[in-house]
Amino acid sequence: MMKMEQPKTGQGFGQAQFLAEWSGEGGPLTMWWSLAVLVGLYCLLRWYRERQVVSHLHDKYVFITGCDSGFGNLLARQLDLRGLRVLAACLTEKGAQQLRSQTSDRLDTVILDVTKTESILAATQWVEERVGDRGLWGLVNNAGIFHPHCYSEWLKIEAYVDVFKVNLTGLIEVTLSMLPLLRRARGRIVNVSSILGRLAFFGGAYCSSKYGVEAFSDTLRRELRHFGVKISIVEPGYFRTGMTHVAWCLERLKQAWEEVPTHIKEAYGQKFFDAHHNGVKQGLLKCSTNLNLVTDCMEHALTSVHPRTRYSAGWDSQFFFIPLSYLPTSLADYILTRSWPKPAQAV
């Protein structure tokens, strides 16, 4: 007779013991569940904190630079609808008139050139006359310019100076001039940087100026923490504004190339420029048109009880450039430059 095979109880017992150890107290499954619960509670707490809004917004004054167009113009209209008292600084009277025609009587405008000290001092006095003892609740340093979308070697030193005067030196001078009014209100400073202030990718003068904005903001935030003044940095990705208007940018690029010295043109070559020109065009066409992704960050920084230190605005900023900035430099360099054309005299 054939013997019946006995069940392998040892194997079943081993599986049961494994499952018991995995899901039992102190097991890996319990650990992961605990971690998931903690992450969920953290996200819920953060969501609750960020939804708390400052009271009496209709009594608070906010000064915004660069309101002729783009982010500044949209933010001025957005905050006006929210009920805040907006003090909008425009570079031209035409821009100021257009903005006033689109907003309520609460909004007031002033002409400001952030590259001129006398203009900044006059604007500061103008603001002080309006805010009085209440002080200035919010300062949004939004004014900025971009040089032609070309390689650093193609730019004249004047282009670097112009970019720094507006994007960094002007921002610093406006901030320092308005600081007594901001301390009086224990207010907010919102500095518009760029994702190119976190990851230098293209445009040496612009990236350098925005790295300076990041450094100045970080320093000032730590220096003013005991005065109750909060500072936020907004880092937009690529958006369709006046600085990224396709025809205008391509025309400036061609003009810069025409003015490049002969020895630099020979080093890069006409084919390189043509490929670069096409790459810039394709990149500009992909810029996001949803400027609210940026202005909503600015509004939150001004109206939230607990504003963030940094706001990354735009899907490209959040899911490409920020993760890329944490990679090893050599790997980030490869990813960013793998599709770039090669110069005529490349080694």
What are the residue numbers of the active site? 206
The region that residue 47 occupies, defined by phi over 0 for left and psi between -120 and 50 for alpha, beta otherwise, is: alpha
- Phi first, then psi, for residue 64 (nearest 5°) are -125, 130
Instruction: Single out the residue of 257, 314, 311, 307 nearest to residue 280, CA to CA.
Output: 257
Contacts of 264 (CB under 8 A, 6+ apart): 153, 154
Residue 314, Cβ density class (10 Å: 0-12 exposed, 13-18 middle, ≥19 buried): buried
* Residue 242 CB neighbours (<10 A): 14
Q: In what order do the strands lie in the sheet with 85-90?
A: 108-111, 85-90, 61-64, 138-141, 188-192, 230-236, 310-313
* 256 DSSP 8-state letter: H
User: Is the torsion defined by CA of 243, 62, 293, 218 positive or negative?
Assistant: positive
Residue with tokens 């670097």: 160
Which amino acid is located at 331 in the chain?
Answer: L
Q: Are 289 and 212 in contact (CB under 8 A)?
A: no
